[in-house]
Chains A and B, each alone.
Chain A
């Protein structure tokens, strides 16, 4: 069966360190993989998208890698700050047109300790 797995337990990182979040999937062939941030009581906010033929994508302190052989994406936040504390969701789009909607993981709760 299809499955998207993210670290189910909260991830505690000290301020200034690099936070690395993992997204593993099985039985999917995503055309795109996306990362979102969600704060309590708010909707998800898009952060980064990476295509199946891309290995890495960067945006300011954020970096995403995509390994279609391992079926895994890693999401890095460098020089982490307490304001980065939130739940981070990965989402797959198999069709490239999103006609079936995005399929989300359950998210990883990241806590940056000052």
Chain B
């Protein structure tokens, strides 16, 4: 079956703009989590969605937001982009909320966002 699909793969934006990233989970998976990966901070949890509801959010400013649709597809939005938002944004899908059981979470290839 198809894996997690993230679009676009690469994106260049100007400081101050906003951006929307998309994640289509594996068919049947209802939970989507988003992570930001930078060389300095590594992988950091942004938020998790299940059944169109945000279950939890990491320590990021309100400029970072997301949503999930009834078909489990998810989008994340970053407003008023800053240079420091340049990163690889990854989403992971799983059948159920949480990834503690391991092996249930499958990551997409990510969207590489560059803010100039």
Q: Which residues of A does B touch, CB under 8 Å?
A: 31-32, 34, 41-46, 48-49, 89, 91, 93, 95-107
Binds A, one of B13-21, B63-71, B75-83, B105-113: B105-113
Residues of A within 8 A of B101 (CB): 32, 49, 98
Residues of B within 8 A of A99 (CB): 48, 55-56, 97-98
Sample of 6 A–B contacts (CB below 8 Å): A42-B110, A43-B108, A89-B42, A101-B45, A101-B47, A101-B48
B28-44: CB near A (< 8 Å → 1, else 0) gives 00000101000001111
- Known contacts: A43-B109, A46-B103. The answer to whether A95 contacts B98 by CB under 8 A is yes
Q: How many pairs of A and B residues are in contact by the CB < 8 Å rule? A: 79
Chain A interface, DSSP helix/strand/loop, else mixed: loop
Q: Is B92 an interface residue (CB 8 A)?
A: yes
In contact, A100 and B107 (Cβ under 8 angstroms): no
In contact, A105 and B100 (Cβ under 8 angstroms): no
Residues of A within 8 A of B110 (CB): 41-43
Residues of A within 8 A of B48 (CB): 98-99, 101
